[in-house]
Structure 1
């Protein structure tokens, strides 16, 4: 099924409400983090967000 123009516009509109974080890591370091996320039963994104939230809590 093809994506309609309305769906494309809605996707762009939604994406405009999001922020983005981009970091570059050595591949070995990235793989360590991905492995830790998998071991925790989490997606990499969820693991990173949880890690950032925990760091913020520690700083309070």
Structure 2
């Protein structure tokens, strides 16, 4: 059985999103591509997609 996104984040052990300015991220996500955002913040493309998904829920 595959692990869900919550299980993956708990089992991962380290969080790359520490230090990301979320207000700045929200402003830049309208202008930049996912790849550019990953480069800007030093996180993976997968983390960018997850962060966008989580921010769109609110």
TM-score (norm 2): 0.42
For the pair shown, the structure with the greater C-alpha radius of gyration is: 1
User: Which structure is higher in RCO with an 8 Å CA cutoff and minimum separation 6?
Assistant: 2
TM-score (norm 1): 0.41
